[in-house]
């Protein structure tokens, strides 16, 4: 697989590189004769075919090997490294923002926390849905439903958090109220 991926890389599509590889792949160093792969004869014996065997260079057989379908679209490939950095930055930002939001409750910090918490949970749930609800196991419909549910849950979460921020006491004060109820129940 790695060899076929290497041969499809832009470096390997250079014409000079291809000629050099073809020369190296089709000739052996010891005998200076072409290195060929003999084709397997058909089960039906034909007198005209047995006299002459077909030959094929080894690089042709390697280049024809595909591990997955080649995408023919002009779409730019996704750069998942940038998304990974954004996910880790979001996680790192949550560490100081959660205590800051509890110490200084206001709508701006609550809104930033709501967005970051929703994004963090969305990426986690999406990773779970993509990794464990695969089309090869569940068919083509159920993975789409799972991703749709992740989107729906994330939209509902963000909407609910913004509702608490704008129409209620805010996120930090809601957490403080939950802690106050729990501590009163323990004292009684």
Cβ atoms 109, 170 nearer than 8 A: no
The SS3 assignment for 184 reads helix
Annotated binding site for heme b: 120
Cβ atoms 169, 176 nearer than 8 A: no
Annotated binding site for a ubiquinone: 132
Cβ atoms 121, 157 nearer than 8 A: yes
Annotated binding site: 120, 132
Question: In this structure, what is the dihedral angle of CA atoms 68, 71, 75, 81, given to the nearest 10 degrees?
Answer: 10
Give dist(CA 45, CA 40) in Å, integer: 12
Question: In this structure, what is the dihedral angle of CA atoms 167, 168, 171, 174, given to the nearest 10 degrees?
Answer: -160
The SS3 assignment for 51 reads coil
Alpha-carbon 72 to chain mean position: 19
């Amino acid at each position: 697989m790695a060899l076929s991926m290497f041969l499809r890389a832009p470096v390997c599509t250079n014409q000079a590189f291809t000629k050099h590889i073809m020369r190296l792949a089709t000739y052996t160093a010891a005998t200076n004769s072409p290195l060929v792969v003999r084709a397997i004869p058909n089960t039906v014996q034909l007198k005209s075919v047995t006299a002459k065997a077909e030959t094929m260079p080894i690089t042709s057989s390697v280049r024809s090997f595909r591990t997955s379908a080649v995408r023919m679209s002009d779409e730019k490939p996704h750069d998942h490294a940038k998304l990974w950095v954004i996910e880790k930055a979001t996680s790192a930002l949550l560490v100081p923002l959660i205590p800051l939001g509890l110490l200084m409750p206001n709508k701006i910090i609550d809104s930033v926390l709501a967005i970051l918490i929703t994004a963090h949970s969305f990426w986690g749930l999406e990773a779970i849905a993509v990794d464990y609800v695969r089309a090869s196991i569940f068919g083509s419909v159920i993975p789409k439903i799972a991703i749709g549910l992740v989107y729906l849950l994330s939209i509902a979460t963000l909407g609910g958090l913004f509702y608490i921020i704008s129409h209620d006491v805010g996120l930090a004060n809601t957490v403080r109220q939950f802690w106050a109820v729990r501590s009163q129940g323990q004292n009684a």
